[in-house]
Amino acid sequence: MISRVARKELLEILRDGRFRVLSIAVLAVSLLSLAVGWKQYTDVAKQHQQAQAATRAQWLNQTKKNPHSAAHYGVYAFKPKSPLAIVDTGIDPYMGVAVWLEAHKQNEFKYRPAQDRTAVQRFGEMTAAETLQVLVPLFIVLMTFGTLAAERERGTLRQLLSLGVKSRDLALGKAAGIAIALGMVLVPAAVLGVMSLALTSDGGFLASSPTRAAWLVASYLAYFAIVAAICLGVSARARSSRLALVVLLTFWFANTVVASRVVADVASWLHPTPSAVEFQKAMDADLNDQQEMQRRLDRRKAELMRQYNANSIDAVPVAFSGVSLQEGEDHGNEVFDEHYGRLFDIYDRQNTIYQLGGFAAPMLAMRAISMGLSGTDFHQHRDFITAAEAYRRQIQRTMNADIMAHPVRGGAAYLAGRELWERVPEFQYDAPATGWVLRNTRWSFAILAAWLVVAIGWMMRPLPRAAI
């Protein structure tokens, strides 16, 4: 019986003029957004790869100089693009693309691509993810609001149920018919999307992204199922198809346009971020804590003198300038870890609230999952920040250890060359594993699953007599 209902529903949808217009529109927008995403990805990925190679070459080709000068010269770390950013650019436009790794300072990521765009971007970007999260649900609403309500208005619902068709089977059949119609639009888009991903992969996609892509596809399917189930449920219970449309459009508007803004406000209200001025001031105060530095240096002096059994620091066979620089770094690192750690923890707490907002609006859960799997959420940005900072600290340690190992007497300058620069390995960053991403977005997965169960359960519940 379910398949018969599904076949009838599908036929009706295909004959409907609305479907033809809307499906062409959705397909066109999906393909357009994928194409643009693909172009942006390939352009930027290439630029970043070249820049990363260039910064390495500059580091290696430094003239002979004191290791600390080299540390000041530093290198840049450029954030690599995740291949799935073709689908969802996430927070990428709002995060800097590069960070300068120099001595003494953990710098911020600079140059947000969004600052190089006009104000219209604030209406939303037409990425594939945006299309899937915002437009496809609207497409589902417009295709389904009348499915059952119109049957009732025509009086055919009563007829059908009197024939012994269970309302559950009817709902499932209708859902299946709609799913097939939807599939006819989305499957070609998905196939092209995967093909474009495969084209960009320089081995990277085949290694890690298929698992991510599979999870992504499954999550979007669940999201569409939730929307479709809600639409059918409302359509079955609304007094008229007009009322069903009003209710569903309100749901769509609240879910896709309003909820994320309100939840963002709530999150910033519960966990406010400091202003940049305050943040910098507090960090500078800790960094310039001379007493703490003096304590550290005294302790190291005592340690070294004990170690070498010397009675003055000049008798120790290590260059104390290197020790002092490294102590400065260690002190700075503690301060950076504390301040940036606190700031990023605020972001994390805010982002957890965004995820929990999924209870009110399934799109928020879907967005978190989509950005997570696409490698464009804050968790993954933070992971890259941490990796880049660890590399900076490694450079500092290598340079300072070399200074320590080459004590000079009588004001002579110590100069190092390429052999030392080569001792710093090239910066390597591997995107985190899928399991790590899934753990970070566990709330959203749980919420999406809960929505799926509740929405389908509600859709399949027998209709109240009054609704027939």
Partner 1 sequence: MIRRILQHDWRVLRADATVWVVGGVFATAIGYAMANGVRWTTFQRNALHAASAEEIDRYATIHAQIGVLERTGTPVAAFGDPRNPTQFGSRFGPRYAMLPPAPLAALAIGQSDLQPYYFKVSTDARETLTTATEIENPQRLLVGRFDLAFVIIFLYPLLILAVTHNLLSGEKEQGTLALAASQPVSLRTLATGKVLLRALLLVGIVVGFSSVALLANGVGLTAPGAALRFALWLAAVAAYGAFWFALALFVSSFGRSSATNATVLATAWLMLVVLLPSLFNLVATTLYPVPSRVEMIQAVRVASDEATSAGSTLLARYYEDHPELATGGAEQAMNDFNIIRVAVDEDVSRRARPVVDRYEQQLTRQQTLIDRLRFLSPAVLMQDALNDVAGTGAARHRHFLEQVDRFHAAWRGFIVPLIVQRARVTSLDQVPSFTFREESPASMAGRVVIAMAGLIVPALCVAWAGVRRLRHYPIVG
Between residue 162 and residue 221, which ones bind partner 1 under the rule CB under 8 A? none
Closer residue to partner 1, CB minimum distance, 144 or 167: 144
Supply the minimum distance, in Å, between the C-beta of residue 166 and partner 1: 30
CA angle 35, 38, 44 (to 5 degrees): 140
Hey, which residues between 351 and 370 contact partner 1 (CB under 8 A)?
351, 354
CA–CA separation, 259 vs 306, rounded Å? Answer: 63
Of the two residues 140 and 172, which places its CB atom closer to partner 1 in the complex?
Answer: 140
With the CA atoms of 253, 258, 259 and 262 taken in that order, what torsion angle do they form, in degrees rounded to the nearest 10?
A: -170
Q: What is the dihedral of CA 432, 435, 441, 442, to 10 degrees?
A: -160
Given the complex with partner 1, which of 96 and 432 has the nearer CB atom?
96
- Specify the DSSP class assigned to residue 466: G
- Both structure tokens of 285: 């105060």
From the number of C-beta atoms within 10 Å of its C-beta (0-12, 13-18, 19+), residue 31 rates as middle
Q: Which of 7, 31, 66, 279 binds partner 1 (CB under 8 A)?
A: 279
Q: Which is nearer to partner 1, 180 or 343 (CB)?
A: 343
Q: Which is nearer to partner 1, 133 or 167 (CB)?
A: 133
| Alpha carbon distance 328, 65 (integer Å) | 21
Of residues 76-95, those binding partner 1 (CB under 8 A): 76, 78, 90-91, 93-95
How near is the Cβ of 332 to partner 1 at its closest, in Å?
Answer: 17
CB atoms within 10 A of CB 436: 14
Least Å distance, CB 51 to partner 1, is 4
Site string for partner 1, 230-269 (x = CB under 8 A): -----------xx--xx--x---x---xx-xxx-xx-xx-
3, 156, 159, 273: which one contacts partner 1 (CB under 8 A)?
Answer: 273
Report in angstroms how near the CB of residue 305 gets to partner 1 at its nearest: 26
Binder among 276, 412, 413, 466 for partner 1 (CB under 8 A): 276
Which residue in 169, 165, 248, 190 sits closest to 31, CA to CA? 190
Report, in Å, the least distance between residue 309 CB and partner 1. 33
**3-state SS class at 76:** strand
- E strand or H helix at 163, and its extent? none
Instruction: Report in angstroms how near the CB of residue 426 gets to partner 1 at its nearest.
Output: 17
Are the C-beta atoms of residues 21 and 185 closer than 8 Å to each other? no
Cα–Cα nearest to 436, from 367, 393, 383 = 383
**Is residue 98 a contact point for partner 1 (CB under 8 A)?**
yes
Residue numbers 382-441 binding partner 1 by CB under 8 A: none
Instruction: Check: CB of residue 396 under 8 Å from CB of residue 71.
Output: yes
- Of 134, 297, 313, 415, the residue at the interface with partner 1 (CB under 8 A) is 134
Quote the least distance from Cβ 310 to partner 1, whole Å: 28
Interior angle at CA 55, CA 49 and CA 107, nearest 5? 100
Rounded-to-integer distance, Cα 436 and Cα 171, Å: 37
Q: Which of residues 21-60 bind partner 1 (CB under 8 A)?
A: 29, 32-33, 36, 39-40, 43-44, 47-48, 51, 54-55, 58
CB of 349 to partner 1, least distance (A): 10
Instruction: Please work out, in degrees rounded to the nearest 5, the angle formed at the alpha carbon of residue 343 by the alpha carbons of 339 and 346.
Output: 145
Among 14, 27, 138, 446, binds partner 1 (CB under 8 A): 138
- Report the site for partner 1 in 284-343 (rule: CB under 8 A): 343
